[in-house]
Amino acid sequence: MLNYLRLLTAGESHGPQLTIILQNFPSGLELLEEQLNADLARRQRGYGRGGRQKIERDRVQIVGGVRHGKTLGGPIALVIPNLDWPNWAGTMDVGPVGEEVPKVTRLRPGHADLAGAVKHGLDDVRNVLERASARETAARVAAGGVAKAFLAAFGVEIRSHVRQIEAIQAASPEIIRLDPAGSRNPEIAAFWEMVEQSEVRCADQEAEARMIETIQRARTAGDTVGGVFEVIAYGLPIGLGSHTQWDEKLDARLCGAIGSIQSVKGVEIGDAFAAAARRGSTVHDPITYDAERGWYRPTNTAGGLEGGVSNGAPLVVRGAAKPISTLIHPLPSVDLVTKEPQPAHVERSDVCVLPAAGVVGEAMVALVLADAFRQKFGGDSMDEARRNYESFVATYRPAPRL
């Protein structure tokens, strides 16, 4: 997924900490822990989250690659301590323990339990579920915060909201997917402010109320719900990605990034699924040019990408998340060791993760776009990268009038 940047995360859901290593960001990028902590807090909010969010108050620590608030050009190291770790002493100790720890053997349908245990030859599903847990996304959000800070230096803004929970679809103005100015447009800024004030990160207040009611009903029934989140990136230049190789196409890389998020089973660029039912004459975005605006589109069905390359319109990508696999009233299953019928294992979990999934989606989109920026513009320092960027965009953007 990342061809230029390098990202590695480590750590278990109930282990001591999550660890993140990022490589190939330029020197001179202003980076503070507070920037990353803001998104970590957004990831933990949202109606339908589980009890663990009352325990954890995620705070990242920058432990390498930054000095006096600026990156040094070497690997950036981050850690997020797990505050729940003391409650799992013994069960999750790194070293050998004196007493035998009870094993998890009842398999959960829809989770990585069976496939992971068979793949690695395990007789304890905890060795799978600890890493397969969506707790790992906190590490991605921290890494994505670094990518966001880098992209913001070039005027790129990345936002997300919930489009659907269960069958309830939210209305949202088309302008948020059309104007590359993003929050510089007051109407768009007002929309995103409403999103961040919403318990389910949805600006449609009528849909929000129905979504909350649906989550409440699912919680009462011991069930879970899924839905769709949308991520939009504003201010992108033309030319990120490539039309020449399959693994360099930005569409493919974004689909892989969003599809890698726990519970996500479907990804859409622009209006892909709706466009599949229409004719080409009503789908493709007309091309327009004028001396002040340069290249622009009156529609954005393509979601800002054509031929695997960004076209200057806002980038629009959606993720469809299935309901969480862990149910309070577990589904019928089988014991991994005895092969006897057993109800599935119950692990503390959420009812709905869509509000948080959008924040994780922002992080994954930011990482892919930052990687594409680094491939396109290079530079060992922010000053060099900025010169390369400005030189390129000057080849197609109209010069400002004096």
CATH at 338 = 3.60.150.10
349 in Cβ contact with 133 (< 8 Å): no
Q: What percent of the chain has pLDDT over 70?
A: 97
365 touches 233 (CB < 8 A) = yes
Cβ neighbours of 338 (radius 10 Å): 10
Q: Where are the beta strands (DSSP E) in 257-372?
A: 264-269, 288-290, 294-296, 305-306, 309-311, 315-321, 332-334, 341-343
Residues contacting 390, CB < 8 A, separation 6+: none
157 CB-contact burial (10 Å; exposed 0-12 / middle 13-18 / buried 19+): buried
Full DSSP string of 119-161: HHT-S-THHHHHHHSGGGHHHHHHHHHHHHHHHHTTT-EEEEE
Q: Is residue 398 part of a domain?
A: no
> Which pLDDT band, with edges at 50, 70 and 90, does 402 fall under?
low
Is residue 319 within 8 A of residue 264, CB to CB? The reply is: yes
pLDDT exceeds cutoff 90 at 290: no
Measured distance CA(227)–CA(264) in Å, rounded: 9
pLDDT category at 214 given cuts 50, 70, 90 is: very high
> Tens digit of pLDDT for each residue in 102-158?
999 999 999 999 999 999 999 999 999 999 999 999 999 999 999 999 999 999 999
Q: 252: which 2 tokens? A: 């493919």
Tokens standing for residue 16: 């001591």
Q: What is the pLDDT of residues 305-362, one digit of tens each?
A: 999 999 999 999 999 999 999 888 899 999 999 999 999 998 877 899 999 999 999 9
Residue 106 pairs in a beta bridge with 335
On the question of pLDDT at 51 being above 60, the answer is: no
**CA Rg, the chain, in Å?**
22
**Is residue 372, in this structure, part of any structural domain at all?**
yes
Q: Does 260 map to a domain?
A: yes
Candidate from 16-25, 50-59, 254-263 with smallest mean pLDDT: 50-59
Q: Is residue 375 part of a domain?
A: yes
Domain count along the chain: 1
Range with the lowest mean pLDDT among 154-168, 203-217, 257-271, 386-400? 386-400
Which residue matches tokens 């009528």?
206
Question: 374 near 248, Cβ under 8 Å?
Answer: no
Q: Tell me the two tokens of residue 359.
A: 């924040």
Residue 58's closest CA among 150, 159, 136, 126? 136
**What token pair was written down for 63?**
């432990």
Give the model's pLDDT for residue 97: 87
Given this model, what pLDDT does residue 258 score?
A: 98
Domain membership flag for residue 221: yes
What pLDDT score was predicted for residue 392? Answer: 97
Report d(CA 76, CA 79) in Å as an integer. Answer: 10
Non-local (6+) Cβ contacts of 190 within 8 A are: none
**Mean pLDDT of the region 367-382:** 98
Residue 170, domain extent:
6-393
Q: 32 and 56 in contact (C-beta within 8 Å)? A: no
- Buried residues in 127-141 as b, exposed as e (16+ CB within 10 A): bbbbbbbbbbbbbbb
pLDDT higher than 90, residue 98: no
pTM of structure: 0.95
> 354-377 vs 137-152: helix axis angle to the nearest 10?
50
- End-to-end Cα, the chain, rounded Å: 43
Average of per-residue pLDDT values in the chain: 94
pLDDT > 80? residue 1: no
Query: What's the CA gap between 333 and 323, in Å, rounded?
Result: 18
pLDDT of residue 401: 60
Tell whether 364 is covered by a domain: yes
Instruction: Assess if residue 146 is contained within a domain.
Output: yes
Where does 174-237 show beta strands of DSSP type E? 227-234
